Structure 1
Amino acid sequence: MVPNFNDHYHPLLLQQVPDGARTALDVGCGTGRFARLLSRQGLVVDAVDRDARVVEAARAAGGGPRYRRADVREEHLPESRYDFVSCVASLHHMPFDTVLTLSKSLAPGGVLAVLGLYPVRTVTDFVWALPALSLLQAHRVAGRGRSGPSVQAPIVWPPPLTYDETRAASARLLPGSTLRRLLWWRYLLVHRA
């Protein structure tokens, strides 16, 4: 089994939580690992996913968040409610403009943090992918695996937007946001309300 690259970035995502934050929304929560980390930080966490199986697995794991099955594209999120909104490897399952809905749910001073994925299509993408591929190969050679939940969120590959397309879309939809390329075909998008 391959390592969970998303878990590797949980500390980076936790660094994006604004000081004094009390409420959080974790979109596409999967089995709830990051939502539970947010809850352990003292936040009141709403965690949503549209896949009923992973929501049930998250509930079974417990840990404090309020889990529910919901599709944020169809559900009306309360405006100006959350101090922190996270979207861990789930935005590519939705139209990118869903970030507008998520940003509207931010309280003043709130932060939207998206750990997103992009396909390797350009020379720059490939250069960034080389260290990740080397680490993945070393992991496989060493015979390391990860034991994880028996229920896994669905995998969508390749993601629909390239890194450059994501940069352009985020600049257009979320002026002032930042986008940072990360290893393992990921990026960090941060928008502050």
Structure 2
Amino acid sequence: MPFDHNDHYHRTMARLVPGGARTALDVGCGTGRFARRLAGLGIEVDAVDPAPEVIEAASAAPVDGVRFLCADVTRMELPAGRYDYISCLASLHHMPFGTVAALRDALAPGGVLAVLGCYPERTTADFAWSLAAVPVNAAARVAVAAAERARGPRPRAVRAPVRPPEMSLEEIRREAASLLPGFSLRRRLFWRYLLTYRKPS
């Protein structure tokens, strides 16, 4: 499928970078597209993913300001207060939700944690949002596929391992309330939610 739901939200995620940010951690970076976008903003980025094949692909096209690491963030000793911005794009459901506590502690004062997450459909509201996304998704796929054909054949992209989400949106909201006081959680199209947390200055 040429239309990538996570890439669609790169601009939204980039707008959440706090002013003056100098350091970032991209958790579950995949082949590094968002990490490169952050580096383009003049930010020094640690981009982490446990899948060797995607880190190998990411490292094949190095860019100034990004350090790619093949590592499991749940087993890393993250430096306290280091990062001005931490992003998780469709990666948090691959690890225990409690990992956000370690990410919270790794934020510098005033730093922002931004999670573009996935959730399973369980409630009437979930299915309503899914239904709303279907025609938009179909139109986007057609448009992107047409643009791809116009550009000609391209190398097949390396895809990160995928697993289905298990926590409902209500469970996520409940866990976040205890670990990320003052957080914001909003539904987004394409079966995603956006969770944000700013560490007190």
Which TM bucket (shorter chain)?
A: over 0.9
Paired position in structure 2 for 1:85: 86
Q: Deviations over 1:110-148 (max 9, x none)?
A: 000000001111110011111211223345567927667
Counterpart amino acid of 2:186? Answer: R
For residues 198 and 192 of structure 2, what CA distance do their matches in structure 1 show?
A: 20
Residue equivalent to 1:182: 188
Equivalent residue for 1:30?
A: 30
How is 1:115-154 mapped onto 2 (pairs within 5 angstroms)?
Answer: 115-139=116-140, 144=145, 150-154=157-161
For structure 1, the 5+ residue unaligned runs are none
Equivalent residue, structure 1, for 2:197 = 191
- Partners of 1:31 and 1:149 within 8 A in 2: no
Q: Which amino acid aligns with 2:83?
A: Y
Partner of 1:74: 75
Larger % of helix: which? 2
Match of 1:6 in 2: 6
Q: 1:144 aligns to what SS in structure 2?
A: helix
In structure 2, stretches of 5+ residues that fail to align are: 149-153
- Identical-pair percentage: 55
TM-score, structure 1 normalization: 0.94
Deviation string 1:24-56 (CA, Å, 9 cap, x unpaired) is 000100000000000000000010000111001
Change (3 A) 1:143 1:55: closer
Counterpart Cα distance in 1 of 2:91 and 2:108: 22
RMSD: 1.7
Distance 2:15 2:144 in 1: 32
Aligned CA distance change for structure 1 residues 149 and 169 (closer, same or farther; 3 Å): farther
TM-score, L = length of structure 2:
0.90
State the match for 1:165 in structure 2.
171
Distance across 2 between alignment mates of 1:142 and 1:110 = 36
